Structure formats: structure tokens, C-alpha cells
A and B are shown apart, each in its own frame.
Chain A
Amino acid sequence: MLVLEKNTMTEEIEKLVEKYGNLRSSLLPILQEIQSVHKYIPDFAQQEVARLLNIHPVEVYSVISFYTFLNTKPKGRYLVRLCKTISCDMQGKQAIARAIERELGISFGETTKDNKFTLEYINCLGMCDKGPAMLINNKVYTKLTPEKAIQIINEIQ
């Protein structure tokens, strides 16, 4: 990270700490915001959050490593998460999974070369009556067919 980037990051985190207060209970909302902006939580950001909340950096890391939605490694700009729970599975999740893999040329858990898409599985999205379902960033798509899933992905500019 360049010094300039570090300074910007520090300012950003200071604003977040101001918004939520420098309490331990603000940790998750702060991390969630960093995650949604940068798609991951860089080491430097973890240290800064720790410094401003007055806790040890390893505490921040331990929280990040616990939650599925927080990660310390970069991901694509669009996170495609396909529900793999039984109801979606019975409604044809497998065909959707294969179609997306073919179309993007990556397997689950990978990111495309242009850093646009990351493909992952997710546990129950609460869309069991309208499966198969997937989330792309925070938008939910239901009643997928392989064709429809690909169309949605292709429409993302």
C-alpha cells in the first residue's frame, strides 16, 4: 500500500468510527462497511480499526475469520453466491452452478481474471419457495434457470 492510500484508508476508518462510536460493539458494522466498499479488509485497515477501537489487531482478525461475509483476501467487484441448501438443490441448483462456471470460465471459490466476478456457494438464502436462488452483491435473484442466470450475469456492466 502506498502512503497516500494508507492515509485515505485511515481517514475513511476514522469517519466510520465517528459514525458508530469507538466501542467494541461497533466493530462489526465498521468491518461490514469496509468490506462493502473494498470487497475485502486489508491488513492495514485491520490495524487501523484495532488502533481506533483500542483493541488488539488479532482480535479484529479473529472476528473477520469467523464470519463468512468478511474476508482478508481481495475478491471480485461482483460476488455471485449461489444457494446450495437442499430446497434449491432439489430445484436444480447443479445445472445453474455448471452453467455459471462454464460461462465465467472459473470454478466455485475463484475470481475471474478481470477481477469482475467471484463465484461462491452460500447456505440457505431464505428463498426456498422460489429456488434456485442466488445473491449478486446484495441483490437477490430467484427462480433461476441456467439461461436466466447467465442472462443476469451478462447484463451486469
Chain B
Amino acid sequence: MTERSGNGKVIFSEYRRGEAIKKALTMTREEILLEIRESKLKGRGGAGFPTSTKWMLSAAAVADEKYVICNADEGEPGTFKDRLLLMEYPELIFDGMVIAGYTIGAKKGIVYLRGEYEYLKEQLESYLEQMKTDNLLGKAILNNKEFDFDVIIRLGSGAYVCGEETALIESLEGFRGEARNRPPYPVNTGFQGKPTIVNNVETFAAVTHIIMKGSQWFKKYGTDKSTGSKLFSVSGDCDKPGVYELPMGIRISELLKIVGAKNTKAVQVGGASGICLPKSQFERTLAYEDVPSGGSIIIFNESRNMLKVLKNFMEFFVEESCGQCTPCRIGNIKLLEGVNMIESGNYTFKYINQLKELGKTMQLASKCGLGQSSPNPFISILENFSEEIFNNSEER
């Protein structure tokens, strides 16, 4: 067992391998679905889709095969909580996947691990072997003759867009990672056209705890609309960067205190595709009803140049756009050009305002979440830090 670095009350609370599976197998599928619905668990990847709804739809779908996919394509800049879970808490993730398989009636689970984490693959595979030895995976799990479930690990190959569930499925099927049109949703027509659930690593970990300790226990933490706790990956200008488990609904200012951030000027919530908040908004809360995120928190102190930060994000999107839809493919290039214009002091406000409008068009017209959220930093940084950016540009 590796040394544990997590510290928290829900996800990082005490758990022994296999316990939740044992308990789940004594419950009916409906009971499990009800328990998860009662917990009001929402997707921990950041989109916040109610997990129970996703599972109910795929459980109700009729098909000869179903799939459980764990989205471990943690590509959002500033996120590393899933890496920690995969490294140190695999029992939470895999037990959650087995429970999901039992609940929706799937026999196969796939972990889509990002290519950058290939060094974890061997360790995870040997862990899966141990689970098979303990009869927690494979044929007739815990001597339950009705229930077979197996998990394989597939690697990504360095494409951020593959974190989008339909692009992830395309990639697993051996195609370019280009998002599909929805509907039909993966819960009906997913991997190989079969009902499929795709959940974030942390979502599976939460399910394991909910089944073990009950939805009431889970709801003790967080707010009414965002129950439970959330893992936050904190990096940037602070004394103690790392993964923190904090209750949902925590104020940004409280989080900054906990991680020892001083002279903070801005906080980027939700990674490159998130929004950048200035000091005046540090009293906002980290929850689905206020500032939703997948848990990436990047802190900038007074010494940082926000235009450089924005440029870094826009370069990222230009590189990672998959290129199938025009708003995202061309829009991101245009936004980056705009940032370069500001940097060289060669711009008009008229044109910058047009670019902000273009950003809004991209939010509406892009095919998937990448293009819909890539204008977020552009719009939020230019609006929240306009004074710094436009008043100093002559000097740069």
C-alpha cells in the first residue's frame, strides 16, 4: 500500500477494499439508484450532471451489452486530483466501477487513462489482478453467479478533447477524438453503439462512499444543491499547493487562507476552460450553483501579468481544438491573434469588442464543451483585468 497523502472527511475517509461491493450486492439495483439519487451526487468532472439520472437511463436501456467507462483523461490545465486518486486510492475508483456495472447491468468496464499518465498503467493493472484474486472482479463476483464484471485499461494519446465523453468514446472505438452530435446520448448509444455511462474518476470514488455510508452521511457536507465534498487541485502562487478535499460551497477566500495564498490578484477556477475571478469576487462560492468547476484552482499573485496568462490559455486551445467545427477551430485562432495584438499594442477597442462578441458566438455555436468554454478566459480576463491590460500595453 502506498503512503496516503489525502486528508478529508468524505472521499479521503476510511475505506477498505471490497466493502462497498459486498454491500451493493445485497441491495437491489433500484435501491442503489435511489441511494445515489438521494445523495444528489453530481458529476465531478465539472459539468455537474446528476449521476443518478445518467445511471437510471442506462439501467433502463435494453441491450445485450453495456459499458462502464471511467474518464481518467485528466487534461484540464491545473487539475491533478485524479492522478492522486489513481495512484493512492484505486480501491475507491474500481469498487465504484464494479458497483456501476452491477447497477446498470454491464459486464465490461474501461478506464480511459490519458497518455501522459502511462506510468500509472502497470500499477493499476497489477491492482486489477489483485482484485481478481480477491474475487472482486472477473467471473461470479463474490460468488454471485449472476454478476460478471471485468475492467480493462486503455490509453489515450495526448488529446485534451478526449476528455469530452463522446470524443472519448470515438477514441476508444479507434477513431479521431472528435465529439459526436448529441442526442443520441451515450446512455443509449455509446461505445460500439451500446448503452454506456462515462463518469469521472472522482465520481466513482464518491459512489463507493455513498453506498458504504449512505446518502444522509454524504449530504451532511456541502450545500443543498451541491452535496458532499469536492477535491480541489490547487497550484500557482501559494505556500501549500496540492490536492485538498473541501466541502462544496466553500468561499474562494476561505480556500485561499487554507492553502496559504498571499497578495492574491486573481484565481482561475476550472482550468483553462474556466473563469478568472478578480479580488472583488473572492467571496463567491465553489459550487454548481455559483462557480462550478472540475476542481482546478490556479492562483495568481500581484506580480503576475494577466495578459501572459491569457496568452498561455489561448495557445493551449488553438493546439487542442479538434478542428471539426468552425467556431472553435477558427475562433480560437482569432482570439489568440487578438491577444497578440494587445500584447504588441497594435489594436483597436472596436476590434477587441468584436472578438468578445465572437467569443459569445463560440459559446453558443461550438459543437462540444471545448469550444463552448474556450472563450471563458478570454472574456473573463479582459473584462476583469481591463485596467491592467489596456493601461499598460503601451509600455510592453
Residues of A within 8 A of B (CB): 23-29, 31-32, 62-63, 66-70, 84-87, 89-90, 122-131, 135, 138-140
Contacts and interface: CB of A to CB of B under 8 A. Distances in A.
A67 B159 contact: yes
Contacts of A62: 176
Given A86-B268, A128-B236, 10 more contacts: A24-B173, A27-B174, A31-B157, A67-B159, A89-B312, A122-B158, A123-B320, A126-B83, A129-B235, A129-B242
A123 B160 contact: yes
A124 B77 contact: yes
Contacts of B268: 86
Interface of B: 74-80, 82-83, 114-119, 154-160, 171-177, 192, 233-237, 241-243, 268, 272, 298, 300, 304, 309, 312-313, 316, 319-320, 322
Contacts of B235: 87, 128-129, 131
A28 to B, nearest CB: 6
Given A87-B235, A123-B316, A128 B174 contact: no
A135 B120 CA distance: 13
B176 A122 contact: no
Q: Summarize B's interface: helix, strand, loop or mixed.
A: mixed
B159 A25 contact: no
Contacts of A140: 119
A127 B254 CA distance: 24
A125 B300 CA distance: 19
B174 A28 contact: yes
Given A86-B298, A123-B316, A128-B233, A28 B171 contact: yes
Contact of A85 (B78, B158, B304): B78
Nearest to B243: A129
14 contacts: A23-B174, A25-B174, A28-B155, A29-B155, A63-B176, A69-B115, A70-B157, A85-B77, A85-B312, A86-B236, A87-B78, A89-B312, A123-B75, A129-B235
B119 A86 contact: no
A87 B298 contact: yes
A70 B242 CA distance: 31
Instruction: Enumerate the 5 nearest inter-chain pairs by beta-carbon distance, A residue then B residue, closest first.
Output: A27-B174, A68-B158, A128-B235, A67-B157, A129-B241
